[in-house]
Amino acid sequence: MTTAPLYGLVLSGGRSQRMHRDKAALAYRGVSQLERTMALLEGRVERAFVSVRAEQRDDPLRARYALIADQIADLGPAGGILAAQASAPDVAWLVLACDLPFLDAHTLDHLIGARQPNRSATAYRSSHDGLPEPLCAIYEPASHAALTAAVVAGRHCPRKFLLSADTALLEPPSPQALENINTPEQFTQATAALGAPDRQVTVQYYALLREQAGRAQESLRTTAATAGALYQELRQRHPFTLPPELLRVAVNAEFAEWSAPLTEGDTVVFIPPVAGG
C-alpha cells in the first residue's frame, strides 16, 4: 500500500462568537495564531493551506497563504475538511485548529510519526473525556466518503465522526498542547501562561479624558492584555478620575467588552459619558 502524501490545513473560518474578535489574528508573543500555526507546519507537510469562509478570501492576514474556501456554508470544521479533501482527494490532511496557542512541534512530530495510513484517521485522545480530538488529527483519503455521508445525514461533528470511524487514537505527549482558546478570559490566561510581550497600541481620548491626558491621542507599548488592564495602566500615567464603569470602550472602531484582548497595532478609544439635555 502506497502512503498518501501529507498536506496541512489550518482551520480559520470560525466566526469567533465567544471571543468577539477574530481568533486567527490574536497574537501570542507578538505573532498571530494563524502565522504561528502555519509556521509549525513548515517542513512537516508537503503543502499547507488555510481553510476560510468564502467571504474571507481577501482578508490580508489569510490572503498571504494558499487558501481553500468552504464549498458549503455553515458546516463548521467539517465543511473546511471536506473542501480540502475535494480539492486534493488523494492526499491525507493534517488538520489543525487555529486556536491552539500551546501546540508545539513535539506534539505534531509525535502525531505524524504515529500516523497509521491504513486507517481512516489518526488522532489524539482527549485528556478530558477520552474522545478523539478532531482538530489536531490526520484524515486519510479513505475518510472522505464516510465524512461526506455523515454530513449529508446531518451529522456535522468531526469528533463524533472520528469516534465512529476507523480511527487510530493516541495519547497526547502534552495534553495542554491541545487546549483551545475560545473566550477573552481564556486568552488572557493563555497570554499570561505563555509570557506576555509588550504590544504597540494607539489610544484616542475625548471630552474629559482628553483634558486630563493633555492630548487627543498617544501611541505606546503596553503589556496590558485587555482593554480593562490598559485603562488601569493609563490611570497610573494620567490623572483620570472616571472609573471604568462610567466609560465605554471601542477597539478598532467597534464597541468591545473590557475583557477584549489587545493585539499589536490596535486602536483603543475610551468613551466618557456625554452630557446632554
pLDDT in tens, 68-88: 999 988 899 999 999 999 999
Give the Cα-Cα-Cα angle 31, 258, 97 (nearest 5 degrees).
Answer: 35
Any domain includes 61: yes
Q: How many CB atoms within 10 Å of residue 189?
A: 14
Q: How many domains does the chain contain in total?
A: 2
Any domain includes 188: no
Looking at the structure, do residues 210 and 162 belong to the same domain, yes or no? no
Looking at the structure, do residues 15 and 113 belong to the same domain, yes or no? yes
Any domain includes 277: no
Looking at the structure, do residues 82 and 54 belong to the same domain, yes or no? yes
**Which of 131, 146, 178 is at the close of a domain?**
178
Would you state the cell numbers that stand for residue 109, as one nine-digit string?
Answer: 512530530
196 pLDDT higher than 80: no
**Are 200 and 266 spatial neighbours (Cβ–Cβ below 8 Å)?**
no
Looking at the structure, do residues 34 and 139 belong to the same domain, yes or no? yes
Looking at the structure, do residues 122 and 245 belong to the same domain, yes or no? no
Looking at the structure, do residues 135 and 217 belong to the same domain, yes or no? no
Q: What is the pLDDT of residues 225-246, one digit of tens each?
A: 889 989 998 998 899 999 999 9
Would you state the cell numbers that stand for residue 149, as one nine-digit string?
Answer: 455521508
Any domain includes 120: yes
pTM for this prediction: 0.73
Task: For residue 70, give every residue at least 6 positions away whose Cβ sits within 8 Å of its Cβ, in sequence order, or none.
Answer: 13, 51, 52, 53, 54, 79, 80, 83
- Residue 218 has a pLDDT of 94
**Are 248 and 269 spatial neighbours (Cβ–Cβ below 8 Å)?**
no
Looking at the structure, do residues 138 and 22 belong to the same domain, yes or no? yes
3-state SS assignment for residue 98: coil
266 pLDDT higher than 60: yes
Looking at the structure, do residues 213 and 158 belong to the same domain, yes or no? no
Any domain includes 232: yes
What is the β-pairing status of strands 199-204 and 67-69? unpaired
- Residue 275 has a pLDDT of 55
User: Which residue pairs from 127-131 have beta carbons closer than 8 angstroms and sit at least 24 positions apart in sequence?
Assistant: 127/172, 127/175, 127/178, 131/159, 131/163
E-state strands within 228-274:
248-251, 254-256, 267-271
Q: How far apart are CA 136 and CA 150, in angstroms?
A: 20
276 pLDDT higher than 50: no
User: Is residue 156 classed exposed, middle or buried when 0-12, 13-18 and 19+ CB atoms within 10 A define those classes?
Assistant: middle
By residue range, what is the domain housing residue 144? 6-178
The maximal CA–CA distance of the chain, rounded, in angstroms, is 79
CATH code of the domain in which 235 resides: 3.10.20.30
Q: How many CB atoms within 10 Å of residue 218?
A: 15
Looking at the structure, do residues 44 and 121 belong to the same domain, yes or no? yes
Looking at the structure, do residues 95 and 51 belong to the same domain, yes or no? yes
Any domain includes 276: no
Any domain includes 27: yes
CATH code of the domain in which 94 resides: 3.90.550.10
Looking at the structure, do residues 120 and 235 belong to the same domain, yes or no? no
Range from 92-106, 138-152, 190-204 carrying the lowest mean pLDDT: 190-204
Looking at the structure, do residues 209 and 93 belong to the same domain, yes or no? no
Would you state the cell numbers that stand for residue 60, as one nine-digit string?
Answer: 490580508
Any domain includes 53: yes
**Which of 112, 147, 178 is at the close of a domain?**
178
User: Is residue 118 classed exposed, middle or buried when 0-12, 13-18 and 19+ CB atoms within 10 A define those classes?
Assistant: exposed
